[in-house]
C-alpha cells in the first residue's frame, strides 16, 4: 500500500530507542526523511530536553531551515509514583514531560505546515487515559490532557490540510519492558511462558499478548498517510481489545 508520504519530512521525538526508533524506521521505509530527536544523545539528528521550555526552543531553533511536514510527539515518560507520594512537583513534572513537550513543538511547527497546506501531528498517549489505574495518577492525568489537546488543536487547524490524532497503546514489548518482566518471571518461577503470565495478571486482552513496537509504528505511519486524511481529532486505542467499552 502506497501511503503517499514519500519525500515528506518528519520529526520523531524520543526516537533514539524503543517505540520511537521503530516509528522512525517505519516512516523511513515509506520514503520519509526522518529527523531523530533525543533529549541528549550522540545518535540523534535533533537534540533538546523537551521537559523544559528552553529545550523545546533549542529543538525548534535547529529546525528553522527545515520544512517539517510530520510531527510525531513520541517523547513522554513516567515513573511508578503512587497517590501517597505524588506531590505538586510530580504533577507539574508529568505535565511538562507529557503535555507541554508536545504542545510547544506543535505551536512552533504548525505555521509552516499551514503555509504548505498539509501536515500530520500524531501524539503518543496511553490506554491509561481511557482506563487509569491507581498508580501513576499524574502520568495518566497528563496523557488524558494530551488527548484533549489533540482534539482542540484539530479544530483549531480546521481547513488547513493538517490532521491531529492521538495513538493510545497498551503495554508494548520494548526491550525495557521485556527485561523487567523476564526478571520478574525468574523471581516468581514463571519459566519461559512469562508473556502469558503478564497478560493474565497485568494486561488481560482478547489477543492474549503484548503489542509489538512494529504494530504501533504501523498505525502511526498509516495516520500520517494520504489514505488517513479523513481521520482527525481521534484518540485511537491499540490495545488488543483490553479496554472494554465502545
pLDDT tens digit sequence for 39-89:
987 789 999 999 999 999 999 999 999 999 999 999 999 999 999 999 999
Q: Spell out a b/e string for 65-82, using b for 16 or more CB atoms within 10 Å of the CB, else e.
A: eeebbbbbbbbbebeebe
Report the candidate in 158, 164, 92 with the shortest Cα–Cα distance to residue 125: 164
Residue (of 37, 36, 39) closest to 52 by Cα position? 39
Q: Which of 77-86, 139-148, 171-180 has the lowest mean pLDDT?
A: 171-180
Query: What's the average model confidence in pLDDT over 213-227?
Result: 98
pLDDT mean over 110-117: 98
Spatial separation of the C-alpha atoms in residues 29 and 39, rounded to whole Å: 24
Query: Percent of the chain scored above 90 by pLDDT?
Result: 85
pLDDT of residue 8 exceeding 80, the answer is: yes
At 181 the pLDDT is 85
Q: Is the pLDDT score of 177 beyond 90?
A: no
Residue 197 has pLDDT above 90, yes or no: no
Q: Look-up: residue for cell 482506563?
A: 131
Percent of the chain exceeding pLDDT 70 equals: 100
DSSP lists the bridge partners of residue 235 as 166
Name the phi and psi angles at 169, rounded to 5: -80, 160
Assign 120 a pLDDT band (cuts: 50, 70, 90): very high
Residues designated as active site: 139
Q: Which tens digit of pLDDT belongs to each residue from 185-196?
A: 888 888 778 888
**Residue 206: predicted pLDDT:** 96
- Burial class for 184, CB neighbours closer than 10 Å (0-12, 13-18, 19+): middle
pLDDT at 188: 80
Q: What is the pLDDT of residue 147?
A: 98
Amino acid at each position: 500500500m502506497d501511503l503517499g508520504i514519500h519525500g515528506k519530512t518528519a520529526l520523531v521525538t524520543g526516537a533514539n530507542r524503543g517505540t520511537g526508533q521503530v516509528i522512525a524506521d517505519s516512516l523511513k521505509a515509506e520514503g520519509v526523511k526522518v529527523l531523530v530527536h533525543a533529549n541528549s544523545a550522540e545518535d540523534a539528528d535533533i537534540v533538546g530536553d523537551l521537559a523544559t521550555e528552553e529545550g523545546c526552543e533549542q529543538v525548534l531553533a535547529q529546525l528553522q531551515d527545515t520544512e517539517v511536514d510530520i510531527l510525531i510527539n513520541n517523547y513522554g515518560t513516567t515513573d511508578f509514583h503512587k497517590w501517597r507520594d505524588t506531590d505538586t512537583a510530580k504533577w507539574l513534572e508529568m505535565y511538562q514531560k507529557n503535555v507541554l513537550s508536545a504542545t510547544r513543538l506543535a505551536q512552533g511547527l504548525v505555521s509552516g505546515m499551514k503555509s504548505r497546506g498539509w501536515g500530520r501531528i500524531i501524539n503518543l498517549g496511553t490506554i491509561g487515559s481511557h482506563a487509569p489505574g491507581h498508580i501513576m495518577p499524574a502520568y495518566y492525568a497528563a496523557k488524558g490532557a494530551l488527548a484533549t489537546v489533540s482534539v482542540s488543536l484539530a479544530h483549531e487547524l480546521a481547513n488547513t490540510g493538517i490532521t491531529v490524532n492521538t495513538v493510545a497503546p497498551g503495554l508494548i514489548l520494548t526491550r525495557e519492558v521485556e527485561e523487567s518482566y523476564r526478571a520478574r518471571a525468574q523471581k516468581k518461577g514463571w519459566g519461559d511462558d512469562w508473556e502469558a503470565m503478564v497478560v493474565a495478571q497485568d494486561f488481560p486482552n482478547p489477543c492474549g499478548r503484548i503489542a509489538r513496537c512494529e504494530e504501533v509504528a504501523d498505525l502511526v505511519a498509516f495516520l500520517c498517510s494520504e489514505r488517513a486524511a479523513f481521520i482527525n481529532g481521534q484518540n485511537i486505542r491499540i490495545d488488543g481489545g483490553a479496554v472494554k467499552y465502545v
